Structure 1
Amino acid sequence: MLEVKQVSKLYENQRGVHNIDFSMSRGEIVGFLGPNGAGKTTTMRMITGYLNPTVGSITIDGLSMSNHPKKARQKIGYLPETPPLYPEMTVQGYLEFIADLRGIPGKDKKRRIGEVIERLGLQGRERQIIRGLSKGYKQRMGLAQAIIHNPDLLVLDEPTSGLDPKQIIEIRQLIRELGENHTVLLSTHILPEINTLCNRVLIINQGRIVMDGHPDQLANSLGERFEVSLEIKGPRQAVLAELRGLPHIASVQPLAADASAAGTAAAATTPAAPEQQPEQDAPEQGAGAEAATVADEPTVKVLVSAKDNADIREEIFYRMAERRYPILAMKRESLSLEDIFLKLTTNEAVETSDDEDDNESTKAEVTPNA
């Protein structure tokens, strides 16, 4: 659906984007992440035809943006961070105006406007002046102008910026629904939005793509070790020895929240019961005795790392079951998307602002030598 091949945008004394190279298939919702000034808006403006790349090519559904710009733009819906609205117009008048700009035939215009109004929940506001709409409804209007011509590719720049939590939920649901019939490139600073909406993530830093993959696979691609946090009920030293003896475990690190110390302290401070059972009433030897002993044990909390990034969960489970040490909790630990984003972008050498990425007219373009 979208192919961006070796695209660069060069400016004199300003950072641009360098050798951007990625593609998107139909039906994908791709999150586009990066710090301020990293090149997100520049890239999105080149994809939508608002800027021409210095070098490289952009193709929309087989149409070159440089050779067939008008036809290629017809396949794109674009919502910039600030929706392109005319505040003095009514909702109905604005959508009719956009439909005319998009070349929607007269016989289809009324039907298409009605479909967009219903889909974006604008019923009953057709005669309302846009200036009087809430920020959430203005964002809906921005989405309406982006989809009114039923484009194949949607490019959304910070679509939930500045909205309250209820409005964010509503807009996310709309984007999710739009993703069923459109390819979506979504720029956002709200990282949980990526996990909620996207099946793929692109991270850009200093004008270059530094990561491309599924959100759940990014940690593995960074070479992070397979780690599991455990809470096990059993004798502390025995549990640690059993874990360390497993062939695919590289290290076993007791966690600070290990409850064994707390359990020992509780045992030391708890007064004896009024009546003690005589020694001869002790549990029988064997499995029952072992179960009773384990039941009285405090829990051991550890972080276990695997060798060669192996999945060690089954190995741990079967060994603890064999030793009759119940596993109360097992969780695979991995980098969050926030951790990955910071790890990939905190080496930025020059701090820039949103204005440097947005005010393209203030930059002097560099034209490559013929």
Structure 2
Amino acid sequence: MLHVDKLNGGYIGKQVLHDVTFEVKKGELVGLIGLNGAGKSTTIKHILGLLEPISGSVTVDGETVQSSEKNYRKKISYIPETPILYDTLTLREHLTLMGKAYEIPERDLEERTGRLAKNMRMEKQLDWFPSVFSKGMRQKAMILCALVTKTPLLIVDEPFVGLDPLAIRQLLQLFDEYKEESAILMSTHILETAERHCDRFVFLHQGVVIATGTAGELREKYALSPDATLDDIYVEAIDVEERAR
């Protein structure tokens, strides 16, 4: 569903990514793991089409920004780390706006809105304005806006910030449903949760993919014990990479 191929990119005068290559298949939740400054946000911005690569390519469900920007963008939904909402629109109006932007049939939008709001315990807040939302409610609102689209690719950046344990559990259940027809790429620092719920991992360090695979495959790659945590695996991966340099 998502193919990142030899992506070199970054910002004017500063290259951040170096030959980044990985994929996320339909039915997968893949964790993008890295320290601060590893290049996770830059990678996400390139996938979203907000940055132009120096070289390499990003393909989503067979489409690229170059082949059709409109079609490409309609294949992606995004949950940012910091909620961005319109204070003059209710949550329901936000979801209606998403429906129009993604050309979702009105009946489908209504059904999805009701189901998702119920799952995230936001039914009573559908006609509220974001100015009265708590931090957790604002994050839930962004989650609803992304999930209602049912795009082929969902990109999630630190989705658990501000959510209580019950909301995190509900969100992970929704991810399980969403990925049945789509692919999910999730950037997070909460490795314990990622280890339990991600199908595979992409380790990014200093703009380079240093390892990919399941937790079991990565334990085997670095000759770690079966009870090694994802934290243990990632620290070992960094140590091996830096010793090699």
Give the direction of change, closer, same or farther, for the CA distance of 1:88–1:103 in structure 2 (3 Å limit). Answer: same
Per the alignment, residue 137 of structure 2 pairs with 137
Aligned residues: 242
- C-alpha change, 1:111 and 1:10, in structure 2 (3 Å) is closer
Query: Relative to structure 1, is the Cα distance of residues 105 and 218 closer, same or farther in structure 2, using a 3 angstrom cutoff?
Result: same
Deviation at 1:109, TM superposition (A): 4.3
Residues 1:165 and 1:110: Cα distance change in structure 2 (over 3 Å): closer
How far did 1:22 drift?
1.1
Answer yes or no: is the 8 Å Cα contact 1:35–1:345 preserved in 2.
Answer: no
If the length of structure 2 is used for normalisation, what is the TM-score? 0.88
Specify the SS of the correspondent of 2:52: coil
Give the aligned partner of residue 236 of structure 2.
Answer: 343
* Residues 347, 88 of structure 1: alpha-carbon distance in 2 compared, 3 angstrom cutoff: farther
State the shift of 1:114 in Å: 3.4
CA–CA distance in 1 between the matches of 2:4 and 2:147? 22
User: Would you say the 8 A contact 1:32–1:203 is kept in 2?
Assistant: yes
Moved more, 25-34 or 107-116: 107-116
Superposed CA deviations along residues 73-98 of structure 1, whole A, max 9, x for unmatched, are 11111111112212342111221222
Deviations 1:84-127 (A, max 9, x none): 21234211122122222323345654444334434443212221
Return the letter of the residue paired with 2:230: L
Residue pairs, 1:1-370, within 5 angstroms: 1-11=1-11, 14-106=14-106, 108-224=108-224, 333-345=226-238
Per-residue CA deviations over 1:229-277 (Å, capped at 9, x if unaligned) read xxxxxxxxxxxxxxxxxxxxxxxxxxxxxxxxxxxxxxxxxxxxxxxxx
Matched residues in 2 for 1:17 and 1:217: separation? 24
SS of equivalent to 1:18: strand
What residue in structure 2 maps to residue 246 of structure 1? none
SS in structure 2 at match of 1:124:
helix
Cα distance in 1, alignment partners of residues 211 and 54 from structure 2: 23
Q: Percentage identity across aligned positions?
A: 33
* Structure label with greater radius of gyration: 1
1:221 and 1:128, CA in 2 relative to 1: closer, same or farther beyond 3 A?
Answer: same
Query: How far is 1:213 from its partner?
Result: 0.4
Q: How far, CA to CA, are the matches of 1:205 and 1:338 in structure 2?
A: 14
Kept after mapping to 1: 8 A contact 2:7/2:56? yes
Distance in 2 of aligned mates of 1:167 and 1:191: 18
Question: C-alpha distance in 1, partners of 2:150/2:54?
Answer: 30
- Give 1:202's aligned amino acid: V
Contact 2:203 2:210 in 1 (8 A): yes
Q: Which runs of 5+ in 1 are unaligned?
A: 228-332, 350-370
Superposition CA RMSD, Å: 2.3
Structure 2 segments unaligned to the other structure (5+ residues):
none
Cα displacement string for residues 14-42 of structure 1 (whole angstroms, at most 9, x for unaligned residues): 45111011112111110110000111011
Partner of 1:236: none
Contact 2:156–2:185 at 8 Å: present in 1 too?
Answer: yes
2: CA distance, partners of 1:141 / 1:168: 14
Q: 1:56 to 1:40 in 2, by over 3 A?
A: same
Cα shift at 1:167: 3.2
Whether the 8 Å CA contact 1:91–1:128 is kept in 2: the answer is yes
Match of 1:212, SS state, is strand
TM-score normalised according to structure 1 size: 0.60
**Does the C-alpha gap of structure 1 residues 107 and 339 become closer, same or farther in structure 2, counting only changes over 3 Å?**
closer
